[in-house]
Chains A and B, each alone.
Chain A
């Protein structure tokens, strides 16, 4: 997960493009256009990639149901139903048709529920957004809390606090979810499992989803705080009698927080991935549980749409951060390599 170490992965925009364009326009504009083009390419590639991977699946939900030996369908009936869904076409034809529909904004029809995919996703995306945003808020608050603690609490408390991110990253997130439900819903009765979209239930689901994410943010934040604290100015300020807490708020926090923006952007994917488990455990209807149902029923159009939406979300968020970041942090050099603090791994905590 957030590997904080010397965390500078050199992300180099294509050198030749940069070189060619540098003559004519501002480096920022070139950089921005390049990043946008990259983003579009990535989304399209992600679409094709998912399609091909899922096409490896033997069969499809329609044929699987029809071929159930306990159904008495004739071959002719099966062929006609399969043709209705276009599943008798070769893979590349299906991909082409699916991709052209996607480009016109049509996400197709779910093979499982026979409902338009856009309707399915439209019904539930709000719930997932609420969950993801709440989880992010929980994660950020928690991370800053831990980071604050490590610098401002007395050592006997601060030291163990440093182990928290590592611990958070080592607990399977379904265990966190089960634990929270068990304690807060069943033992303490603080929320109703049935009312899974209610504010209390949403809060605890957000905690379950946010804890592993908070660890990544906290790790980066702590590392950056440590780094800043070692700078001369910090030592100077302390020697002049500035209190630890004032030093933290006035001097260390801002430079340390800036890189956190990038980490947060990278955790977007993790929030969506983690939602799969969290939504299932908390009985929420959302993109995660939709994926779960679609995977087990091989509902290709839905999976396709969700993966692409996830990729778009990830790409757009990171694009925005990449575009805004250079404006915030003058240390970033846009020509050649973009050197900036960027965690290397956006791991896959499940």
Chain B
């Protein structure tokens, strides 16, 4: 999200401010992000807007519909049509963003924090700690991640927040591996070894050199994982492991929409929003990676 906010306020008036590495790099053709990336940022910005202030984007009540208006196709009055209770599908998508975005963020946060910590400790301390933690990560990797998420969510209870946690758990291994390899790489770097030789404390080295260097890969992975988490949570919701229907997460909207084949917009509108969001996250992640 930081990236997005920065991007939004980015402009010539902010010299010296923090900029994504791509912008910081200065000269060269990569200075201006390609159109696709700009569009991706715009999409994510829109989604964030929806989650923060849904009221600004739609005046309709997502929970109260006019039963007489059920199953209307997309129109000017109802951009995304209406559902079986005559509720405005666009309003439901907009109001569902907060939950979808939040749960994806929760999942990413768990992955970054838990996985990052495991990777950091394993890579930085090394020796038996590394061996032990690596086996734990291997176990998490060996269980298919979606299956793992399903098992975890069934243990926690079928609610969206639990689906988010389960998704986060299933992403822990990936973050742990990336973090560990980044830490190992940085540790072996000449300047870090020099710093250690010169008597820098381990904590200092960790905070000053290792973390900042590793964080770039992790950030990029986090953006990617954000998109992925939306998909995983939607998949869990599809199987019925999310909040029950009054909620309007995108995954839930698609899975409840599928029951009405005569109203296909109930599937394709939330599905398209989901796809656009995930695609944007992927595009941005790719761009960050290229400009590293």
Contacts and interface: CB of A to CB of B under 8 A. Distances in A.
Given a CB threshold of 8 Å, the question of whether A touches B is answered with yes
Interface of A: 1, 3, 5, 9-10, 12, 14, 38, 41-43, 45-46, 49-50, 53-54, 56-57, 166-167, 169-175, 178, 182, 186, 268-274, 276-277, 280, 291-292, 295-296, 298, 303, 306-307, 310-311, 314-315, 344-350
A170 B283 CA distance: 10
A46 B145 CA distance: 13
Chain B: interface secondary structure? Answer: helix
24 contacts: A10-B185, A14-B131, A46-B139, A50-B143, A53-B151, A169-B228, A169-B278, A170-B278, A172-B231, A172-B254, A173-B231, A175-B271, A175-B275, A269-B145, A270-B146, A276-B239, A295-B154, A295-B241, A307-B147, A310-B143, A311-B139, A347-B224, A348-B146, A350-B234
Interface size for chain B: under 10, 10 to 19, 20 to 34, or 35 or more residues?
Answer: 35 or more
Contact of B238 (A41, A172, A298, A346): A172
B138 interface: yes
Interface in B122-169: 131, 135-136, 138-139, 141-147, 149-152, 154-156, 167
A295 B150 CA distance: 8
Given A276-B150, A345-B224, A348-B171, A42 B135 contact: yes
Contact of B275 (A50, A171, A310): A171
A134 to B, nearest CB: 18
A14 B130 CA distance: 9
Contacts of B267: 175, 178
Nearest to A50: B151
B240 A350 contact: no
Contacts of B92: none
A319 B152 CA distance: 26
B146 A276 contact: yes
Nearest to A171: B275
A169 B139 contact: no
Given A270-B145, A271-B144, 13 more contacts: A14-B131, A50-B151, A54-B151, A54-B154, A166-B279, A171-B271, A178-B267, A273-B144, A276-B146, A310-B143, A346-B145, A348-B231, A350-B238
Nearest to A349: B231
A41 B142 CA distance: 11
B234 A269 contact: no
